[in-house]
Amino acid sequence: MSMLRCVAALMIAVSVASLAVAEEDTRVKGHIDGAHGSAAVEPAASANMRLGTPLTSDDIAKWDRTIFPDGRGLPPGRGSAKEGRVIYEQKCARCHGEHGEGGTSEELVSGPTPPSPDNPSKAIGSYWPYATTIFDFVRRSMPPAAPGSLSADETYAVTAYLLAANAIIPESAEMNAETLAAVRMPNRDGFIWIDVKK
Amino acid sequence: MARKLASEDLTPVAGGGLLHRRLFLKAGLVLATAQTATSLRAEEVAATTPRAKPEDPADPSWIHKPGLPFTGYGTPSKYEKHVVRNIGGNRTPQGDGVSWTPLEELEGIVTPSGLHFERHHDGVPDIDPAVHRLVIHGLVQRPLEFTVANLLRYPMRSRFLFIECGGNSNAGWHEEPIQRPAGSFHGLVSCSEWTGVPLSLLLDEAGVDPKASWVIAEGADAGLLNVSLPLSKLMDDAMVGLYQNGERVRPENGYPLRLIVPGWEGITNVKWLRRLHVTDAPAMTRNETAKYTELLPSGKARMFTFVMDAKSLITSPSPGQKMHGANVYEIRGLAWSGRGKISKVEVSADGGKSWAEAELQDPVMSQCFTRFRSPWAWDGKAALLKSRATDETGYVQPERDVLIKERGREGYFHYNAIVCWAVDEDGTISHVYA
């Protein structure tokens, strides 16, 4: 690291020299074929290397879309399985099957039982350890033709539909930031961390 | 340098006719290579295509007329048009799939950038570098935003590194051995010189809180792919990759910038990187829970299996190629390990009953492709070719039955077992489990 910082300091001097060379190159090139314009050679970052621009909390709010298993990051909103079923049929069933049984894309619905050698299902009910993951993935990535197009309410509704279809929550349950974070998935403890310690 | 072969040169050092690895270095002898499937096809075409006047190799037409003009950006010879990525696995939706590096067509250790494998979850975004930003926020003293132009001004470093998809070689879990060219089975791995800014410089500038232990990395593709990574690895040797093989990273490999996480599975090397959320716990995203985890026979699943274990593969001879009859051949292949340098590759011509050490071609670099070569006197009889890699930690690439006994068959990811090619008496090569 300290080596790199020394390099950074040296590069200031070097970049001044290379700037001159670059200008000369441009002249030569222009003379030969009439081409003009070349990238300006920016001075290297200083030893302090403060090229990042500070962000305000309002700026960060526009970027931050992380949702954690404990519910941190979940937006306001609500949705029910009944509402979600309608959205699912319109936007998801074509690839995932009419009832989440899978199609050109993976199956989503299985019983609420962890996987076993007889039933090595990786569908939501049997495999997914956290319900918040459904919300996060649907909101950022689905549907593939228009990711990010579902509102928070619609995303809660689709999440509720998928959880109810997997018999993890009752058909009548409403999902919101609080109730979704409280859902305990059947396979919560089904994972062994390998290359990082808990 | 070339000299006549002495009879002792052709004394095998292992079963099936494997010769001493240094034979070619001292003898410089002329030998056969397996003919590629594509050159076989080219010969068939040439044989059946009538030509007005055949070219005379001693006096071909192109030595008597001016050649083609200069080009702004060169492309491979038109005679090499068949050397392309094999696009596969595309389903509905279209942008979710892979393209395989044709490993069996390539030599050396660097993958041409245009042949680097692809795995996209929703296509290749068309990113304007003037608009793109990298944001670092969360458990930091100073949340920061970087333009691409500013990132290009930081001190950089280069490393030759392989990147391998966690799902590479997954057909190895199948009951029946898949019959495809080596690259269309194992080619979700490629090797490039990656140049960029050590991520620790940027994280230091933001001032990481001592409570932080994880970073959520997010790409700017459709779907905003996100994964959680331990902060310690990112501080240790990760880079913001800006250049690949000397030129700016190609769009399908993450332009204008991607995360480079040496030795770790492909998905952690987040392409089109736009956000690093420094935090104290993993986000448990879809791609680290529902995917890129490996279900074991016990019903439990391996999670955060970041490191790509040692693996090797014979690229020549390999399925789709054809032997030219009994002769001395050079067995050629690739080995790599996410844990460090390859320390040894052994090859077998008798299905693993006996092994001979292969020559490792310089340079041998950590977490990088290593090219191995081994001379082989093929007697024209049926043979079973295998290669077995050992890395500097002492880890030895496992046989398939050992891997399956440990992991079962539902893991899908991280298949790194020894690969076996069967050479038939007629010179055809197929994939077998043996």
ipTM for the predicted complex comes to: 0.90
Structure tokens at B184: 């269309």
Confidence of residue A11 (pLDDT cuts 50, 70, 90): very low
Rounded distance between C-alpha atoms, residue B343 and residue B395, angstroms? 10
β-strand pairing of A191-193 with B301-303: parallel
Among candidates A54, A94, A137 on the partner chain, residue whose Cβ is nearest the Cβ of B142:
A54
| Residue B325: count of CB within 10 angstroms of its CB | 10
Contacts of A105 (CB under 8 A, 6+ apart): A95, A96, B91, B92, B93, B96
Report the pLDDT averaged over residues A133-148.
Answer: 97
What is chain B's length? 434
- Locate the chain B residue with the closest alpha carbon to A46: B154
Cα→Cα distances B279→A146, B208, B283, Å = 29, 9, 9
Among candidates B198, B290, B300 on the partner chain, residue whose Cβ is nearest the Cβ of A128:
B290
Phi/psi of residue B215, each to 5°? Answer: -135, 130
Element (H, E) at A62: helix A57-63
Residue A17 confidence (pLDDT) above 70? no
Taking the domains of chain A in order of start, what are their residue ranges?
A: 1-52, 57-182
Domains of chain B: 120-292 (3.90.420.10), 311-432 (2.60.40.650)
Residue B46 near chain A (CB below 8 Å): no
Residue B149 near chain A (CB below 8 Å): yes
Among candidates B144, B303, B305 on the partner chain, residue whose Cβ is nearest the Cβ of A52:
B144
Structure confidence at residue A89 (pLDDT): 98
Which residues on chain B are in Cβ contact (under 8 Å) with A195?
304-307
| DSSP state letter for B340 | S
The answer to whether residues B281 and B357 touch, using CB atoms and an 8 Å cutoff, is no
Which residues on chain B are in Cβ contact (under 8 Å) with A128?
289-290
Residue A34 confidence (pLDDT) above 70? no
Decide yes or no: CATH 1.10.760.10 for domain A57-182.
yes
Q: Return the SS3 of B247.
A: strand
Q: Number of C-alpha atoms within 13 angstroms, CB side, residue A175? A: 33
The shortest C-alpha distance from B95 to chain A (Å) reads 8
CA nearest to B432, candidates B258, B207, B179: B179
Which residues on chain B are in Cβ contact (under 8 Å) with A93?
none
How many CB pairs below 8 Å do chains A and B form together?
Answer: 181
Residue A52 near chain B (CB below 8 Å): yes
Q: How do the pLDDT tens digits run along chain B, 434 residues long?
A: 344 566 667 788 999 899 998 887 666 555 666 766 555 555 555 555 556 789 999 999 999 999 999 999 999 999 999 999 999 865 667 789 999 999 999 999 999 999 999 999 999 999 999 999 999 999 999 999 999 999 999 999 999 999 999 999 999 999 999 999 999 999 999 999 999 999 999 999 999 999 999 999 999 999 999 999 999 999 999 999 999 999 999 999 999 999 999 999 999 999 999 999 999 999 999 999 999 999 999 999 999 999 999 999 999 999 999 999 999 999 999 999 999 999 999 999 999 999 999 999 999 999 999 999 999 999 999 999 999 999 999 999 999 999 999 999 999 999 999 999 999 999 999 999 99
**Residue listed under structure tokens 């391996």:** B302
Structure confidence at residue A5 (pLDDT): 45
- Locate the chain B residue with the closest alpha carbon to A124: B290
Structure confidence at residue B24 (pLDDT): 75
| DSSP state letter for B171 | G
Radius of gyration of chain B (CA): 24
Contacts of B231 (CB under 8 A, 6+ apart): B203, B208, B212, B213, B214, B215, B278
Structure confidence at residue B259 (pLDDT): 98
- Locate the chain B residue with the closest alpha carbon to A143: B223
Residue A43 near chain B (CB below 8 Å): yes
The answer to whether residues B35 and B322 touch, using CB atoms and an 8 Å cutoff, is yes
Residue B402 near chain A (CB below 8 Å): no
Interface test with B, best of A192, A197, A198 (most B CBs within 10 A): A192
Residue A118 near chain B (CB below 8 Å): no
Structure confidence at residue B95 (pLDDT): 84
Rounded distance between C-alpha atoms, residue A164 and residue A160, angstroms? 6
Residue B428 near chain A (CB below 8 Å): no
Residue A8 confidence (pLDDT) above 70? no
Rounded distance between C-alpha atoms, residue A185 and residue A129, angstroms? 6
Residues 300-339 of B with CB under 8 A from A: 300-307
Structure confidence at residue A49 (pLDDT): 72
Report the pLDDT averaged over residues A138-156.
Answer: 97
Contacts of A33 (CB under 8 A, 6+ apart): none
- Locate the chain A residue with the closest alpha carbon to B227: A66
Structure confidence at residue A47 (pLDDT): 53
C-alpha B270: how far from chain center: 17
- Give the CA-trace dihedral at B409, B415, B416, B420, to 10 degrees: 60
Structure confidence at residue B46 (pLDDT): 57
Structure confidence at residue B93 (pLDDT): 73
β-strand pairing of B226-230 with B214-219: antiparallel
Interface test with A, best of B285, B412, B413 (most A CBs within 10 A): B285
Which residues on chain A are in Cβ contact (under 8 Å) with B224?
65, 140-141, 147-148
Rounded distance between C-alpha atoms, residue A109 and residue A101, angstroms? 6
Among candidates B155, B205, B303 on the partner chain, residue whose Cβ is nearest the Cβ of A191:
B303
Which residues on chain A are in Cβ contact (under 8 Å) with B145?
52-55, 59
What are B279's strand-pairing partners? B214
Residue B91 near chain A (CB below 8 Å): yes
Phi/psi of residue B72, each to 5°? Answer: -70, -35
Contact A196 B230 (CB under 8 A): yes
Residue B173 near chain A (CB below 8 Å): no
Residue A178 near chain B (CB below 8 Å): no
